[in-house]
Amino acid sequence: MSGDPKSENAVTTWSATATPARPSQAVSANLYGPPPVDSQVERISLDLTRLLRMVIKHRLVIGAIVAACIAIGLILTLTATPLYMASVTLETSGETVKVMEDQSLDGRAGGSDQTELATFVELIGSRSLAERVVDELKLADDPTFVSPVRRSLVDRFLSMLPFGGDDSAQALPIEYRKKVAVDTVLRNTSAKTVKQSRLLTISYSDADPRRAQTIANAVASGFIKANLDRRFDATTYARLFLEDQLAQVKQKLEDSERKVVAYADREKLVTLDDQKSILSQKLEDLNTALGKASIDRANAEQLWVQVKDATDYAQIPQGLEGGNNNSGSPSIINQLRASRSELVADYQSKQLTFKPGFPMMVALKARIDDVDKQIAEEVERTKTSIRSAYELAVQREQAISADLDETRAELIDTRNRSVEYTMLQREADTNRTLYDGLLQRYKEISVIGGVAANGLSIVDQASLPGAPYTPKLALNMALATFVGLLLGLGAAFGLEFFDNTIKTPDQMESILGIPVLGLIPVLPPDQPVQAVLEDPHSAVSEAYRSARTALQFSTDRGVPRNFMVTSARPSEGKTTTVTTLARMFGQIGMKILVIDADLRNPSLHKIVGVDNTAGLSNYLTGGADAESLLRDTSVANVSVLTSGPIPPNPAELLSGPRMLTLLTELRDQFDLVIVDSAPVMGLADALLLSSVADGTLIVCAAGETPIETIKAATKRLSMTNSQLLGGILTKFNSQKAGYGYAYYGYDYYGYGKDNQKSLPAA
Is 117:92 a contact under the CB 8 Å cutoff? yes
Structural domains of the chain sorted by starting position, each given as residue range(s) with its CATH number in brackets = 16-35+513-743 (3.40.50.300), 288-415 (no CATH)
| 469-482 pLDDT tens trace | 888 888 989 999 99
DSSP state of 754: T
The Cα diameter of the chain in Å comes to 209
Is 591:630 a contact under the CB 8 Å cutoff? no
Mean pLDDT of all residues in 317-342: 60
The closest alpha carbon to 214, from 470, 468, 462, 465, belongs to 462
Q: What's residue 21's pLDDT?
A: 37
| 609-620 pLDDT tens trace | 898 899 999 999
| 539-586 pLDDT tens trace | 888 888 888 998 888 888 889 999 999 998 998 888 889 998 999 899
The closest alpha carbon to 690, from 719, 712, 732, belongs to 719
What whole-number distance in Å separates Cα of residue 439 and Cα of residue 575?
Answer: 111
Q: What's residue 563's pLDDT?
A: 93
CA 67 centroid distance within chain: 39
Q: Note the residue count of the chain.
A: 762
Is 234:105 a contact under the CB 8 Å cutoff? yes
The closest alpha carbon to 160, from 169, 170, 150, belongs to 150
Main-chain phi, psi angles of 354, to 5 degrees: -115, 160
What sign for the dihedral angle of Cα 414, 420, 421, 427? positive
Q: Is 320 helix (H, G, I), strand (E, B) or coil?
A: coil
| 727-739 pLDDT tens trace | 999 888 776 665 4
What whole-number distance in Å separates Cα of residue 278 and Cα of residue 270?
Answer: 13
Q: Is the pLDDT reported for residue 689 higher than 60?
A: yes
What whole-number distance in Å separates Cα of residue 9 and Cα of residue 406?
Answer: 133
What whole-number distance in Å separates Cα of residue 93 and Cα of residue 408?
Answer: 69
| 205-218 pLDDT tens trace | 988 889 989 999 99
DSSP state of 149: P
Amino acid at 597: A
What whole-number distance in Å separates Cα of residue 350 and Cα of residue 357?
Answer: 12
Which residues, in sequence order, are CB contacts of 521 under 8 Å at separation 6+? 10, 11, 12, 13, 539, 540, 543, 732, 733, 734, 746, 751, 756, 757
Residue 172 — very low, low, confident or very high, per pLDDT cuts 50/70/90? confident
Q: What's residue 189's pLDDT?
A: 92
Amino acid at 401: S
Instruction: Return the CA Rg of the chain.
Output: 65
Query: Which comes out higher in pLDDT, residue 186 or 455?
Result: 186
CA 673 centroid distance within chain: 67
Q: Is the pLDDT reported for residue 148 higher than 80?
A: no
DSSP state of 138: T
Amino acid at 667: R
Q: What's residue 449's pLDDT?
A: 54
Mean pLDDT of all residues in 418-425: 72
Q: Is 410 helix (H, G, I), strand (E, B) or coil?
A: helix
Amino acid at 94: G
Q: Of 396-400, 418-422, 626-630, 648-652, which range is least confident?
A: 418-422
Is 449:235 a contact under the CB 8 Å cutoff? yes
Q: Is the pLDDT reported for residue 188 higher than 80?
A: yes
Q: What's residue 22's pLDDT?
A: 37
Mean pLDDT of all residues in 43-69: 78
CA 124 centroid distance within chain: 31
Distances (CA, A) of 524 to 71, 162, 755, 760: 35, 57, 8, 10
What whole-number distance in Å separates Cα of residue 364 and Cα of residue 348?
Answer: 10
Q: At what angle do helices 359-451 and 209-266 cross, to 10 degrees?
A: 150
Q: Of 154-163, 518-527, 572-581, which range is least confident?
A: 154-163
Q: Is 647 helix (H, G, I), strand (E, B) or coil?
A: coil
Q: Is the pLDDT reported for residue 129 higher than 80?
A: yes
Q: What's residue 415's pLDDT?
A: 67
Q: Of 72-81, 126-135, 152-161, 543-552, which range is least confident?
A: 152-161
* SS3 sequence of 83-123: EEEEEEEEEECCCCCCCCCCCCCCCCCCCCHHHHHHHHHHH
Query: Which comes out higher in pLDDT, residue 41 or 528?
Result: 528
Q: Is 271 helix (H, G, I), strand (E, B) or coil?
A: coil
The closest alpha carbon to 390, from 292, 293, 287, belongs to 293
Peptide bond into 679 cis (omega under 30): no
Mean pLDDT of all residues in 114-124: 86
Q: Is the pLDDT reported for residue 485 higher than 90?
A: yes
Q: What's residue 249's pLDDT?
A: 82
Burial of 322: CB neighbours in 10 Å, binned 0-12, 13-18, 19+: buried
Mean pLDDT of all residues in 362-375: 80
Burial of 114: CB neighbours in 10 Å, binned 0-12, 13-18, 19+: exposed
Which residues, in sequence order, are CB contacts of 189 under 8 Å at separation 6+? 124, 125, 130, 202, 203, 204, 215, 219
Q: What's residue 454's pLDDT?
A: 60
Query: Which comes out higher in pLDDT, residue 683 or 418?
Result: 683
What whole-number distance in Å separates Cα of residue 409 and Cα of residue 414?
Answer: 8
Sheet strand arrangement including 84-92? 189-193, 199-206, 84-92, 456-460
Query: Which comes out higher in pLDDT, residue 277 or 230?
Result: 230
Burial of 383: CB neighbours in 10 Å, binned 0-12, 13-18, 19+: buried
What whole-number distance in Å separates Cα of residue 512 and Cα of residue 509?
Answer: 5
Burial of 128: CB neighbours in 10 Å, binned 0-12, 13-18, 19+: exposed
Concatenating the DSSP letter of every residue in 555-568 gives: STTSS-SEEEEEES
Which residues, in sequence order, are CB contacts of 149 under 8 Å at separation 6+? 167, 207
pTM for the predicted model, two decimal places: 0.48
Which residues, in sequence order, are CB contacts of 539 under 8 Å at separation 6+? 12, 13, 521, 746, 747, 748, 749, 750, 751
**H or E segment at 591?**
none
Residues facing residue 315 across a β-bridge: none
What whole-number distance in Å separates Cα of residue 495 and Cα of residue 380?
Answer: 143
Q: Is the pLDDT reported for residue 363 higher than 50?
A: yes
Is 651:599 a contact under the CB 8 Å cutoff? no
Long-range contacts of 182-188 (CB under 8 A, 24+ apart): 182/127, 182/130, 182/131, 182/134, 184/139, 184/145, 184/146, 185/130, 185/133, 185/134, 185/139, 185/215, 185/219, 186/125, 186/127, 186/130, 188/215
Mean pLDDT of all residues in 148-174: 56
Residue 290 — very low, low, confident or very high, per pLDDT cuts 50/70/90? confident
- Arithmetic mean of pLDDT over the chain: 77
DSSP state of 18: G
Q: What's residue 592's pLDDT?
A: 94
Q: What's residue 450's pLDDT?
A: 47
The closest alpha carbon to 47, from 457, 390, 506, 362, belongs to 506
